[in-house]
Amino acid sequence: MTISRADMMGSDYGGDLLNDAGAKSDSLSSLPQAAFNYINSIVGSGVIGIPYAFHKAGFGLGLMLLILVAYVTDYSLILMVRCGHMCGRFSYPGIMEAAYGKWGYYLLSILQFTYPFLAMISYNVVVGDTLSKVLVRFMPTWGASMGAVRAAVVFVVTIGIIAPLCLYKNVSRLARASFLSLVCVVFILFAVVCKLISGEYNVVDLYDESSRFFSHRSGTQNSWEFANADIVPATGVMAFAFMCHHNTFIIYQSMRNASLDRWERVTHISLAFAWSVAALFGIAGYSMFRSLSQGDLLENFCWTDDLMNFCRVLFSFSILLTFPFECFVSREIVKTQLQRFITSELPELDKEKDPSQQTEDNDRHSMIITLSILFLAFIISPMTDCLGSVLELNGILAAIPLAYVLPGLAFIQLEPHSLYSREKLPAVALVTFGVIFTIAGEYFVFFYIIS
């Protein structure tokens, strides 16, 4: 089934985009271009946590789990567009509101704020850890106070780079940066694989405060276990790495001659490429560091390794280009909910607005909200220097429900067949998968907090 131009212009999201395009079909994406845009939205900071996920789940089970998560993600992305066709609402908030009313909309808004906000915290952790190691490489005496150096790096980057980018009137100014971000990730992957093949690497184990140096260990314990018990946090990390559902309808409606068949092809191609990149990171990283794998793979490499220091700088650059997108999503959600709280308007009054859609306004309220979000993320990020924990929590609390539970529930509600029909059983399995890991994740989070 091919969507007509008129149908798209009347949908919840992207109508203005297509209306501005008018008869200029060249402004729409071809299938390869749409796939490339989708790959950019998937491949990000989460891929460097895959070796850590393999360590948590065990190498053999972790690799199988990575295949399962990619397959389930592929199905859920296709399911979302099917829901859009059923209800005529081509946005994630739109299909949730069509299926479950205002409570579905509010639940999605909470999760869509939680995910990018925790992602911003993880970005601060990554930038603070990676750039501080580079600074210590050239200023060895600073190694005695790594915590202060890390906090100072995050502060300077937030004030000097992140805040100005996040205060842009429109996110379109940063659109071309996605290509540079993907190039950085591919180069880092190439460097990691080269390190594995050459064998020229040392592993950072811990920082010794008394002797002021990083110690190295060549041997590891509990390596190459086929399966370990920490399946839930490993799944959270992987779900975070593949999370791209908030961009689904943006990319779908940018396609030329968009249809379900073409969308399935784009999704299969994009997920296959993203899985390949994640698997290569996981296999190469775990092969080198095994049970010593950290949530940030680059943290495993010796701080005197100049090639990996260059990779750290590239990765920080990639993160800085991604940060504003997450901030814009969080800002729009906060603005929408504040407006509704003040005016007591019902969700239907602005149902055409998707929280991930960027607007041109840059008034004082937008600036205050943006700076408040950045300040809160900055205050929270120094509380942890473990990227793995942040990825686990974000994956469990937000990514899994957003990627698996809610799309399945929306399809079950909108699809007219019975619950046990052939059409709905895969969606029921998807929801069951998400609910099991969400409940188990809540149990994990509870004991993580009290421990």
Q: What are phi and psi of 225, to 5 degrees?
A: -70, 135
Q: What was the pLDDT predicted at 324?
A: 81
Nearest CA to 415 out of 402, 430, 400, 401 is that of: 430
What are residue 394's phi and psi, to 5 degrees?
A: -65, -40
**Whole-prediction pTM value?**
0.78
Q: Which of 406, 385, 445 is nearest to 146 (CA)?
A: 385
Q: Give alpha helix (H) positions in 88-176.
A: 92-138, 146-157, 163-166
Digits of tens for pLDDT over the chain (451 positions)?
A: 434 433 433 334 344 433 443 444 555 667 777 777 777 778 776 888 899 999 999 999 999 999 999 999 999 999 999 999 999 888 888 899 899 998 888 888 888 888 888 888 888 888 887 888 788 878 877 766 777 888 888 899 999 888 888 887 655 555 566 678 778 888 999 999 999 998 887 766 544 333 333 334 444 556 788 988 889 889 988 988 898 887 788 788 778 888 888 899 999 999 999 999 999 999 999 999 988 888 888 888 887 888 988 998 998 888 887 788 788 878 878 887 787 777 655 444 334 443 344 444 446 778 888 899 999 999 988 776 666 677 777 788 888 899 999 999 999 999 998 888 888 999 999 999 999 998 888 787 677 666 6
Q: Look at the block and give the residue holding tokens 């019902």.
A: 346
Q: Which amino acid is at 228?
A: N
DSSP H/E element including 23:
none
With H, G, I as helix, E, B as strand and everything else as coil, classify residue 414: helix
Say how many C-beta atoms besides its own lie within 10 A of residue 102's C-beta: 14
Q: Which amino acid is at 271?
A: L
Residue bearing tokens 């899994």? 400
CB proximity list for 44: less than 8 A, separation 6 or greater? 181, 185, 241, 318, 322
Residues belonging to the chain: 451
Query: In the chain, what are the domains?
Result: 30-344+359-450 (1.20.1740.10)
Helix axes 364-380, 92-138, angle to 10 degrees: 60
Taking the C-alpha atoms of residue 75 and residue 407, their distance in angstroms, rounded to an integer, is: 10
The pLDDT, as a whole number, for residue 180 is 80
pLDDT of 350: 39
Backbone angles phi, psi at 269, to 5 degrees: -65, -45
Longest dimension (CA), the chain: 69
The answer to whether 136 and 123 are in contact (CB under 8 A) is no
Q: What CA–CA distance (Å, rounded) separates 373 from 379?
A: 10
- At 193, give phi and psi (nearest 5°): -65, -40
Residue ranges of the alpha helices (H) in 290-386? 306-343, 364-380
| CA-angle at 202, arms to 196 and 208, nearest 5° | 150
Residue 57 · residue 231 · CB < 8 Å:
yes
Q: Which helix (H) or strand (E) holds 235?
A: helix 231-242
What is the chain's percent helix, strand, coil content, to nearest 5? 75, 5, 20
Q: Would you state the pLDDT for residue 6?
A: 37
